[in-house]
Structure 1
Amino acid sequence: MNTTSKKVAAGMAGFASVLWLGLTAAVAASQRRLVFNPTVKREVQSPRSSGHRTRPVVLRAKDGTRLCGWLMTPPLPGPQPAVLYFGGRSEEVSWVARDAGKLFPGMTVLAMNYRGYGASQGDPAETHMVDDGCMLFDWLAARAHVDPRRIAVVGRSLGSGVAVQVAKERAVHSVVLITPYDSILAIAKRRFRAMPIEYMLRHRFESIKYAPSLTAPTYVLRAAVDDVIPHSHTDQLVAKLAQLKGDDIIPDSDHLNIPYLEATQQRIATFLHGQFSLPAMIAAEHRLPG
């Protein structure tokens, strides 16, 4: 190789290095936008469940941040089982109030928007989502009309990672995960193969690390076609879940439409009703590890 060729090669290598560093810096700087996509506009303008008394709720996180959502209470006497719902990356949760009669019949439901989503204040972050989720669980468990021993967590897509971590920290009765993943870190590594993403990504949502310690019966629902969370990433998580009770694929579903489909809603309602109907002793045995 002559001197000119060497200079050209060195220049190209230098340009490639600068480009790689620039892309790496861009990913590091924009990771919040890559992981979260806050939706402010309501999906349903006047959310109301046909099977519940529906009311808007405003709660304060531990640091004072204002969180907004809806509480749905069935018109039934006595303490009832309850559900705490966690939405996806781009999801505003008013639709849950609309569909709660089919999804969660006879159950109290709390659906709150993450920080920065809907009318909730603040900025989204993994630590905030988990801390706020635990606070919401405690708030729900303290309601007079809720049976604190029968509270399920339901998480969709990004929210499956929140649900898993809340289930690790609180005495959750049962868990439903819709299009879940092993970790956001693993998905990011798949997308940005040439970058040291493990050194840049702050919001990792590593559900696979917590799955073996979950003691609550867990039900997994997958989309038939999912170009956001490939089934291979769900496979990794499912293999580690300590109390897996079901792993179903919803026909004719994709990553976006799966929670709205009648088949999905019926299966979730059936699973939760079955778990909540178990005698207390059997339910406690189901929550034991192993």
Structure 2
Amino acid sequence: MLLYYLLQERFLFVASPLQVKHTFELASDFEEIFLEGSEKGTIHALLIKAKESQGLILYFHGNTGNMQRWARVAEELTTYDHDVLVVDYRGFGKSHGRRTQQTLYDDAQRIYEHALNYCSEMELVVYGRSLGSGLAVKVASDNNPSKLVLETPFSNMIDVAFYRYPFLPIRYLLRFPFRSDRFIGKVTCPIRIFHGTRDRMVPYKSGLKLYELIAEGVDHNMVTLPRARHSNLADFPLFREKMSEFLDS
């Protein structure tokens, strides 16, 4: 029990650092960004340009790797005619600083405010994937973006951790609960949730639980992808069809 408490960051944030001098190779034009975060942290992000842009997607990625991987994933989203601003969390890639739930929330707000240098809120889409859904929901609840996209989201991290470690008193051990279930009801913009029924990382029922907490009157829909797992949703035509439909609306 004590071991889990001490090592939970290693389980939750499977981060890979990058040297500051590391260079990225993308087919699209991009801009590298460094911002000052709270408590002397550094936030690293890439702004990846679409050939024809009708808005900007602020992309909060999953819990593994670094910008080397996620820049390519983000670049694929430019095919929906949106620029993409993708950010690495503290300890990932070139971002660094003391990592707590609050510093991550603060960084998410900081990068949201920076995104408004490139577009208006009416053109800004907040997108959270897996772990990143916890940050996306929080920042969308505190601001007024045009849309919120959640890919394989959880209702809270307690649910996910209990699914993996049912023998531990997770509620009392977890320092990063990411209570999206407490914030999603405050989001007023249109919301789309994408989740696969064969997801073994974040159970489908956790995403469904979050969906059911969305406020009445908010434009929302949950796109269920039968047979989709945690990391292959973009391979399904239904995902691409519904994503394009939502972003074009």
In which range does the TM-score fall when normalised by the shorter chain? 0.7 to 0.9
What is the rounded CA distance, in whole Å, between the counterparts of 1:125 and 1:244 in structure 2?
A: 32
What is the rounded CA distance, in whole Å, between the counterparts of 1:225 and 1:180 in structure 2?
A: 14
Tell me the CA shift for residue 102 of structure 1.
4.4
Decide whether aligned partners of structure 1 residues 259 and 86 sit closer, same or farther in structure 2, where only a CA change above 3 A counts. Answer: farther
What is the rounded CA distance, in whole Å, between the counterparts of 2:186 and 2:34 in structure 1?
A: 32
Contact 2:191 2:221 in 1 (8 A): yes
Match in the other structure for 1:253: 228
Match in the other structure for 1:234: 207
Is residue 38 from structure 1 mapped to residue 15 from structure 2 by the alignment? yes
- After superposition, where does 1:134-153 map in structure 2 within 5 Å? 134-143=109-118, 146-153=119-126
Report the AA paired with residue 56 of structure 1.
Answer: E
- Identify which range, 116-125 or 173-182, moves more after superposition: 116-125
- After superposition, where does 1:121-270 map in structure 2 within 5 Å? 121-143=96-118, 146-242=119-215, 243=218, 245-250=220-225, 253-259=228-234, 264-270=239-245
Report the AA paired with residue 272 of structure 1.
Answer: L
- Identify which range, 235-244 or 152-161, moves more after superposition: 235-244
- Identify which range, 121-130 or 153-162, moves more after superposition: 121-130
> Could you list the per-position Cα deviations for residues 131-180 of structure 1 after superposition, in whole angstroms to 9, with x for gaps in the alignment?
1011001011123xx22332111010010111000101111211000001
3-state SS of 2:90 partner: coil
Question: Which of 88, 95, 114 is the aligned partner of 2:62?
Answer: 88
Match in the other structure for 1:62: 38
> Could you list the per-position Cα deviations for residues 14-35 of structure 1 after superposition, in whole angstroms to 9, with x for gaps in the alignment?
xxxxxxxxxx211211121222
Report the AA paired with residue 189 of structure 1.
Answer: F
Q: Percent identity?
A: 25
Match in the other structure for 1:282: none
Contact 1:129 1:162 in 2 (8 A): yes
What is the rounded CA distance, in whole Å, between the counterparts of 2:92 and 2:34 in structure 1?
A: 13
> Could you list the per-position Cα deviations for residues 67-117 of structure 1 after superposition, in whole angstroms to 9, with x for gaps in the alignment?
22211234559xx52110001111424445435564233322210111111
Decide whether aligned partners of structure 1 residues 94 and 175 sit closer, same or farther in structure 2, where only a CA change above 3 A counts. Answer: farther
What is the rounded CA distance, in whole Å, between the counterparts of 1:257 and 1:244 in structure 2?
A: 26
3-state SS of 1:70 partner: strand
Contact 2:33 2:44 in 1 (8 A): yes
3-state SS of 1:149 partner: helix
Tell me the CA shift for residue 244 of structure 1.
5.0
Decide whether aligned partners of structure 1 residues 224 and 110 sit closer, same or farther in structure 2, where only a CA change above 3 A counts. Answer: same
Contact 2:77 2:84 in 1 (8 A): no
Decide whether aligned partners of structure 1 residues 72 and 124 sit closer, same or farther in structure 2, where only a CA change above 3 A counts. Answer: same
> What stretches of structure 1 of length at least 5 have no aligned partner?
1-23, 275-290
| TM-score, structure 2 as length reference | 0.86
Backbone CA RMSD of aligned residues = 2.6
Match in the other structure for 1:277: none
> What stretches of structure 2 of length at least 5 have no aligned partner?
none
Report the AA paired with residue 154 of structure 2.
Answer: Y
3-state SS of 1:181 partner: coil
Tell me the CA shift for residue 258 of structure 1.
2.6
Tell me the CA shift for residue 127 of structure 1.
1.6
Contact 2:128 2:150 in 1 (8 A): yes
